[in-house]
Amino acid sequence: MKLPTKSIFILLLFICLPGLVIAKQRIKLTTLAPKGSSFHKSLQRMASDWRKISGGELNVIIYPGGIQGGESAMVERMAINQTQAGLLTGTGLSQIEPAVTGLQVMPMMFNDLDEFDYVSEKMKPKLEQKMKEKGFMVLFWTDVGFVRFFTKKPALTPDDFQKLKLFTWAGDPKQAAIMKSAGFNVVPLETADILTSLQTGLIEAVPMPPFYALSGQVFGPAPNMLDLNWAPLIGAAVITERSWKRIPDEFKPALLESAQKTGIAIREAGRRESNLAVKAMQEKWNLQVHPVDEQKMEQWQKVTKQFYPEIRGNLVPANIFDEVESLVKEYRRSP
């Protein structure tokens, strides 16, 4: 029986439509960044850019605030393709590639952000290649400045901290073991449990950037901050290689340019907001900021240098540790 022309058209449309739907790629991106934060908004702008660049072919869906679980869960979800991308801190990134720890878990290696910027720019190409070998493409790098210590009661010296119950990330037993061997009483937890654990007394001290202390209301149960540059909190947005390869090559340069701009925006906002967060917590919630004088600084430097032999080869691959240390010295020798 001969079908009418209109019926043939409808039949062809029905047959072709599934192919058109499949051609559109959905990318689920997870992050611990709080919903509505500047970081979240930057990621939303990137998602909008990617949709425009691809002519609607790419749909990036952002899951903020750790609603898909902690960073361990985020990495696991990407591995089994439940999600395809994530904005991770160095903690999550190190689960993919341990070399990333060279930028985050070497306490007091960097005196200031200028030193950190110099070293990180030198290290990024190598780290990106290592991430690629593990099946992940780095879209952008970022950071939120230095981690500071927030405590329930004033604590100024390493001896003071050894008397406190100190948060450490549950996904890194090696770091916990090193801290314990140095005399610190560490309590491994997920980041989502920090506030409740401070309120109940399960922990009494936590290292985090001021921005997160403000957004997570840590200043309430922990109203003291030690003004010590412990270590930078780095981050990177990554996408699985399998998902990146599915994207048409013609879109990729513009997509990467958009991602790089997003990383810069997050870094600038993170550093700025961390400084503003300290001021806000002081003025509105009576946060007590405790400066570190020269004598106390020497005590902290002595303790952290005792960590280094244990960190090298355990938390940080030996060759990466040596390279970072060499680059810091190189920067300090420069005019």
pLDDT tens readout for residues 67-95: 988 888 999 999 999 999 999 999 899 99
In the block, residue with structure tokens 């992050």:
31
**CATH placement of domain 25-333:** 3.40.190.170
Residue 43 near residue 29, CB atoms below 8 Å: yes
Query: Residue 9 above 60 pLDDT?
Result: no
Q: Where are the domains of the chain?
A: 25-333
Q: What is the strand order of the sheet 58-63 is part of?
A: 58-63, 25-31, 85-89, 232-240, 136-146
Paired tokens of 217: 């209301």
282: left (phi over 0), alpha (psi -120 to 50) or beta: alpha
Q: Which pLDDT belongs to residue 20?
A: 39
pTM for this entry: 0.87
Q: Which pLDDT belongs to residue 175?
A: 86
Average pLDDT, the chain: 91
